[in-house]
Structure 1
Amino acid sequence: MGVLFPHLFSPLQIGRVTVRNRILSSGHDTVLVRDGSVTEDLVAYHEARAAGGTGLIVLQVSGVHESARYTTHVLMATDDDCVPAYARLARAVHRHGAKVFGQLFHPGREILESRDGSAPVAWAPSATPNERFHVMPRAMTDAEIHEVLDGYGQAARRLHEAGLDGAEVVASHGYLPAQFLNPKVNVRTDGWGGDGQGRLRFLREALRSVRRQAGPDFVVGLRISGDEFSHDGLHTGLVLETVAELDAEGLLDYVSVCAGSSASLSGAEHIAPPMFRPAGYTAPLAAQVRAVVGVPVMVAGRINQPQEAEQIIAGGQADACAMTRALICDPELPVKAEQDRTEEIRACIGCNQACIGHFQQGHPISCIQHPETGRERRFGTLPPLTRRKKVLVVGGGPAGLKAAAVAAARGHEVELHEADRRVGGQVLLAQLLPGRAEFGGAITNLEGEARRAGVRVVVGSRVDAQTVTAAAPDAVILATGARPRRPELELMDDPVVLDAWAVIRGSEVPRGRIVVADWRGDWIGLGVALHLAARGRKVTLCVTGFAAGEHLQQYVRAAMLAQAARARIDIVPNARIHGADSDTVYLQHTLTEEPVLVDGVAAVVLAQGHEPVVDLEPVATGLPADRVFAVGDCVSPRTVEEAVLEGLTVAAEL
């Protein structure tokens, strides 16, 4: 077992704790917290990953002081009443052989929201503003600094009493300890600033407080960005000096290395790097840290496959790998890899939509490919069959594939028909856009699950009434998807008007300026604009919203907008398309209704959303209502996330 990945599945000693393998789930917010406390949903979420073979689970941040409430759903460890709930979580993880650490946290100026809508007072070393959230903090007094430092130790003591194996002080991503370290943020002239030793003092004292109050058996680590990749962030040289000095003082049992900063848009992208970043790109940062410390080093940053983690560890760049989003996507990744069942692993595609994207919208964590994530108590164990049914699934996009896979896994006889030569639906288009090839992995994974579950997949088969009659199914699941929507436009002099799907598929596009008219503000309009720019066209992207990519997860949006800026794509906000002639596109400003004209245009590309394909509804109405189900875009055009979730929900109830 594990012969493919001998380094990944060797034990690791961290302080006085032995971890069974080198795979860890690093700290990440789940929005499965209520009133600052551990919930049964959070316990079930982490227990699923422990049961799947993860060696170490690091919980999301635990606030060490009341001023650390950076969201309304942050875990808090500021009162002894928190201990029993943490203990339930620790027991759940331990009974599957995994270890569990906490995170000790204060955001400083990185405040995202408040409890009642009024802006809280943010604490920081100095009154240096945050660029991303536009927070102006207040410089902490000496008494407040000591109060927070004691909070680190008190929180660690509570986690130890609850049975956790260790905790890490979070100095990553520009949070409070990093703010004290940073000479561009910490401009104090007292004993907490002034020079390198003064700026290091807060982090040093936080670690000492933890060690003093938690005791010698408790593992104490440090999470830090190897580089904050921000105009005013910590650079690698200062980080290396910091970790080397703290390790030499015996304050660290391990270092967990990541990248980026919450304080700027460019730095924040690295918190959960989208698919535009290469796999394991942060490993060189971890290697530099590992060269200056004598304790184990962990690394996080787009490590989605066991072979990537094995290579990093075997190459000496790190001692363990955080595969957090990979475990969100497939909680059983470790056991599958250890049993050499790599073809069954559901690989994360770095879309960020339902993991970090949900967090930033205040919704519980999930995954567009695996909506069971975050819903373990509802879908973790599906109900047994009372009667085996014959199920006909019409449409092989994400919704149809998920419905078929789940229904077959439960024991139903399932046949799926897809009109095109390949299953996949719109995902086959999405993967053709610049930097989005990995998105196609969603269909590779879903199709694999369906076929392994025993689904009979028939491609090139357009279902009609005769097909349904011949199949004589007990249940029909309609997953017929959507088609491009073309609104009524005033067209004169025969302008060239194409839809986005045609352009992605390779239709000829004239030379010259191309206007992309984007109604939705998602990956299609911005992606097609980048696609056309890469083909040498001058592009103007006109969007109905305030900004391009408005409905994309913010790190994905930031990466794509950076590419658009480099490609010199012109973006016109608040503009709806009205019409076109041979060389001019006519738009209306969405706020003033005044005309907006773009001249010298060779073609218009429409990204105007979709309309549901309901061609089979007349067929379906001939069957009893309790035997026909519709899922995905044929119900209402949305995203892969809703399609897969609906496929799961319907199939779980058959």
Structure 2
Amino acid sequence: MTSSDVEILLSPFNLDRVRLRNRVFVPGHTTNFGHDNRPTARHAAYHAERARGGVGLIITEGIRVHPTSAGRHISLGSFDDSSVPAYAAIADAVRLHGTHLFAQLLHTGRQANGDATRTAAWSPGTTPWAAGVHIPHAMGRKDISAVVHAFGAAARRMQQAGYDGVEIHLGHGHLMEQFLSPFTNTRTDAYGGSLEGRLRFTREVLAEVLARAPGLPMGIRISADEFLPGGLTPTDMVEIVGLLRRDFPLLYVHASHAAYHGSYSLGTQMADMSFAHAQFRHHAALFKREFPDLPVLAVCRLDSLPEAAEVLAAGEADLVGLARPHIADPHLVRRAEEGRPHDVRSCVACNQGCVGRLEANLPIACVVNPEVGAEREWARVRAVPHPGDGSDAPATTRRVLVVGGGPAGMEAALAAYRAGYEVTLAEAGRALGGTISVAATVPGRERLGLLVTDLARELADCAVAVRLGDRVTAAELLPGGRLDGFDDVIVATGARRAKRRLPGGPPVFDVLEAVAALGDDGSPLRGTVLVRDEQGTWAAASLAEALARAGARVHILSPTASFASKITTYSKLALTSRLGELGIRPHLMRDVAAARGHTVVLRDTLGGHTEELTGVTGIVDVGLPVADDGLYRALDARDDAPRVHVVGDANAPRTALEAVYEGRLAGTFLTDAVSGAGLLAQLR
């Protein structure tokens, strides 16, 4: 990032009378930190940390304006005046650090409620957002009036709570977009039909907000393209914004994209690492060209400040929004101000801890930032004096050995060092990173390597002794052994890959072997390949896609009724679109019964019926991994061994999300597991 890019990025900007200290904002993103549809102290601490990190503007997650959009109790709403103090607490926490705060107001429409409240969702019509979900209630005239009134009332409450402005959400396939779009609005009354009819609801909402909260700045968030046949296009949205701007004092237009629809469209809304960087920046650029004097906010897969600065330097937007990067590292802007824009924990755009946990109705987390949503608790931990940190804590000579240099081991070593201990990290291989480094070599999964790069950089900046090519045995850690003298051993040795051979059948490759074969044009995996998926994760899906792009004819098999069950729907909808274009054939509720030559017999897991798949040249077995916990077991069985801890896949094979989290906990609470357990109990 050049000095001129930094200057633009960090320069103040006026949104009318709201003067922002820089051009970076945190866009609205759901956290699931709520309780009874109200914000909590967890929200205040979360946003305050990002304000402390230097960002100019924070826009809250969507605040539902009416109970028919309430969703689950962990989402946010403002249905009566008693909610004002809870929202004021967030405004107060953010204001302390010089950041401005806007409230995003919405009604989610047809995708709301369902099983959560046992009440019908509201929509312009009765078409559900996806196959197999609840049918919404087609809103009547009084229903529409009630929601219009609710938007105004919620805006007034945000004004009372001390917010600097509101953002009215017209996009992402929520209720207002459902009225705007000819794809979802098939009404024949005054709220449907022509563009003017479809605009009527939006006009009434904006007018009500201005009337009920006079003087409160108001921006809009839109989807520039619904990516739906017969849906709203960029041309349509330029016309719509032009009409609204003519009649309402819009503070800005926040140009996003996509609709909440069970198709590729939804898969683009929070684009994962399989999409290109800033793939949708042209939407903001379009509105900046059409409305040069209207502030335009750009968003989506602006992965870092240097990359976001490109958009500003090109004149394509006035402000740049980074949501997931601020989840990963809340101090992005502060580091840029200090001349350290690359000294951050990079967002890898995996959608695992943020979007994936939302889908499971859990609070957001982050693969690279274990402290998300627990900012208060971790601040208290760091406030306690540690040995070796220059405080009054008792000095210690406690020595810690971390065995294994994957994400869990690297994070554990860093945490133990920062807790004041003398730390050595031993890795049997020639490089740090473990299997995640292998996964990062698969096309489309390269950003996973950023986690290894960031952790390795942090280790290099610390006094952690890193030993590569050092395979540690239990005997060496016992009295008199080569490694005698360590007080604690953190075992982070990962997991072993499974492979079920099929004698007499095609050659079988485990995951690591299959990745190694991606560059081999003479491999059996260049013909007809069967990928056996026991995990439902990216391991099978990304390999299937990579093999198909390399020219293989790929079949993917799952013993369950759901394909890629552990991949979030947001990513899966884009994934399945790509796999379909590549001609990959799914076989759900199937398992391998037998094999002979190039024929594999598949068995229906429901009824036991069989069918044959012929011409198979190779099989990739993505079976269940097994914890490589031999060192842990051997040390745990000895009374004369150092105290032993086990983290990551060596504890139980899972993902990098759990590995980094357990590494942070183990290293931080090395001598006080009770405190660690207490922290865990607070973070359910």
What TM-score comes out, normalization by structure 2 length? 0.91
Q: Using the TM superposition, give the Cα deviation of residue 3 of structure 1 relative to its aligned residue in structure 2, in angstroms.
A: 6.0
1:307 aligns with 2:309: no
Equivalent residue number for residue 235 of structure 2: 237
Whether the 8 Å contact between 1:133 and 1:263 is mirrored in structure 2 is no
SS at match of 1:601: coil
Q: Using the TM superposition, give the Cα deviation of residue 431 of structure 1 relative to its aligned residue in structure 2, in angstroms.
A: 1.0
Equivalent residue number for residue 593 of structure 1: 608
Equivalent residue number for residue 452 of structure 2: 443
Deviation by residue 1:429-473 (Cα, 9 ceiling, x = unmatched): 211222111111111122222332332211111112464344411
Amino acid across the alignment from 1:517: R
1:473 aligns with 2:472: no
Judge which range, 502-511 or 470-479, deviates more. 502-511
Q: Using the TM superposition, give the Cα deviation of residue 175 of structure 1 relative to its aligned residue in structure 2, in angstroms.
A: 1.0
SS at match of 1:363: coil
Amino acid across the alignment from 1:611: V
Deviation by residue 1:268-310 (Cα, 9 ceiling, x = unmatched): 1122111111111221111111223332111111001111111
Judge which range, 534-543 or 165-174, deviates more. 534-543
Whether the 8 Å contact between 1:157 and 1:214 is mirrored in structure 2 is yes
Superposition pairs of residues 244-283 of structure 1, within 5 angstroms: 244-283=242-281
Superposition pairs of residues 594-609 of structure 1, within 5 angstroms: 594-609=609-624
Whether the 8 Å contact between 2:499 and 2:621 is mirrored in structure 1 is yes
SS at match of 1:263: coil
Superposition pairs of residues 192-591 of structure 1, within 5 angstroms: 192-216=191-215, 218-293=216-291, 294-382=293-381, 383-385=384-386, 386=393, 387-388=395-396, 389-465=398-474, 467-468=476-477, 469-471=481-483, 472-487=485-500, 491-493=502-504, 495-506=506-517, 509-510=523-524, 511-591=526-606
Q: Using the TM superposition, give the Cα deviation of residue 624 of structure 1 relative to its aligned residue in structure 2, in angstroms.
A: 5.8
Amino acid across the alignment from 1:123: W
The separation in 2 between residues aligned to 1:384 and 1:562, in whole angstroms, is 52
SS at match of 2:346: coil
The separation in 1 between residues aligned to 2:89 and 2:95, in whole angstroms, is 10
The separation in 2 between residues aligned to 1:122 and 1:493, in whole angstroms, is 55
Q: Which runs of 4+ in 1 moved over 4 A?
A: 1-4, 623-626
1:628 aligns with 2:644: yes
Judge which range, 230-239 or 496-505, deviates more. 230-239
Whether the 8 Å contact between 1:109 and 1:175 is mirrored in structure 2 is yes
Whether the 8 Å contact between 1:10 and 1:22 is mirrored in structure 2 is yes
SS at match of 2:356: helix
SS at match of 1:541: strand
Q: Using the TM superposition, give the Cα deviation of residue 338 of structure 1 relative to its aligned residue in structure 2, in angstroms.
A: 1.8
SS at match of 1:7: helix
The separation in 2 between residues aligned to 1:542 and 1:191, in whole angstroms, is 50
Equivalent residue number for residue 69 of structure 1: 70
Whether the 8 Å contact between 1:63 and 1:69 is mirrored in structure 2 is yes
Q: Using the TM superposition, give the Cα deviation of residue 72 of structure 1 relative to its aligned residue in structure 2, in angstroms.
A: 3.6
The separation in 2 between residues aligned to 1:347 and 1:112, in whole angstroms, is 34
SS at match of 1:514: strand
SS at match of 1:555: helix
Whether the 8 Å contact between 1:207 and 1:251 is mirrored in structure 2 is no
Aligned length: 649
Judge which range, 538-547 or 638-647, deviates more. 538-547
Amino acid across the alignment from 1:309: A
Judge which range, 413-422 or 68-77, deviates more. 68-77
Whether the 8 Å contact between 2:173 and 2:261 is mirrored in structure 1 is yes
Deviation by residue 1:151-192 (Cα, 9 ceiling, x = unmatched): 111100101100111111111111111111112322233322
Judge which range, 254-263 or 543-552, deviates more. 543-552
Amino acid across the alignment from 1:352: N
Whether the 8 Å contact between 1:548 and 1:561 is mirrored in structure 2 is no
Judge which range, 547-556 or 85-94, deviates more. 547-556
Superposition pairs of residues 78-97 of structure 1, within 5 angstroms: 78-97=79-98
Amino acid across the alignment from 1:444: T
Q: 1:57 to 1:2 in 2, by over 3 A?
A: farther
Q: Using the TM superposition, give the Cα deviation of residue 86 of structure 1 relative to its aligned residue in structure 2, in angstroms.
A: 0.6
Amino acid across the alignment from 1:21: N
What TM-score comes out, normalization by structure 1 length? 0.95
Q: 1:91 to 1:29 in 2, by over 3 A?
A: same
The separation in 1 between residues aligned to 2:641 and 2:77, in whole angstroms, is 48
The separation in 2 between residues aligned to 1:557 and 1:28, in whole angstroms, is 19
Deviation by residue 1:102-148 (Cα, 9 ceiling, x = unmatched): 111111212254334x3x21222233442366343222222221211
Whether the 8 Å contact between 1:104 and 1:169 is mirrored in structure 2 is yes
The separation in 2 between residues aligned to 1:133 and 1:291, in whole angstroms, is 41
Whether the 8 Å contact between 2:635 and 2:644 is mirrored in structure 1 is no
Equivalent residue number for residue 106 of structure 1: 107
Judge which range, 97-106 or 550-559, deviates more. 550-559
Q: 1:358 to 1:584 in 2, by over 3 A?
A: same
The separation in 2 between residues aligned to 1:470 and 1:327, in whole angstroms, is 44
Q: 1:326 to 1:544 in 2, by over 3 A?
A: same
Whether the 8 Å contact between 2:404 and 2:425 is mirrored in structure 1 is yes
1:45 aligns with 2:46: yes
Equivalent residue number for residue 650 of structure 1: 666
Q: 1:178 to 1:2 in 2, by over 3 A?
A: same
Deviation by residue 1:85-106 (Cα, 9 ceiling, x = unmatched): 1111100001011111111111
The separation in 2 between residues aligned to 1:395 and 1:22, in whole angstroms, is 41
SS at match of 1:186: coil
Q: Using the TM superposition, give the Cα deviation of residue 246 of structure 1 relative to its aligned residue in structure 2, in angstroms.
A: 1.4
CA RMSD in angstroms comes to 1.9
Amino acid across the alignment from 2:89: R
Amino acid across the alignment from 1:168: E
The separation in 2 between residues aligned to 1:4 and 1:264, in whole angstroms, is 39
SS at match of 2:367: coil
SS at match of 2:44: helix
Judge which range, 629-638 or 523-532, deviates more. 523-532
The separation in 2 between residues aligned to 1:481 and 1:438, in whole angstroms, is 20
The separation in 1 between residues aligned to 2:226 and 2:143, in whole angstroms, is 26
Judge which range, 613-622 or 545-554, deviates more. 613-622
Whether the 8 Å contact between 1:515 and 1:603 is mirrored in structure 2 is yes
The separation in 1 between residues aligned to 2:596 and 2:377, in whole angstroms, is 54
Amino acid across the alignment from 1:419: A
Structure 2 gaps, min length 5: 387-392, 671-684
Judge which range, 150-159 or 177-186, deviates more. 177-186
The separation in 2 between residues aligned to 1:159 and 1:626, in whole angstroms, is 56
The separation in 1 between residues aligned to 2:92 and 2:131, in whole angstroms, is 38
Whether the 8 Å contact between 1:372 and 1:380 is mirrored in structure 2 is no
Judge which range, 539-548 or 269-278, deviates more. 539-548
The separation in 1 between residues aligned to 2:93 and 2:24, in whole angstroms, is 18
Q: Using the TM superposition, give the Cα deviation of residue 588 of structure 1 relative to its aligned residue in structure 2, in angstroms.
A: 2.6
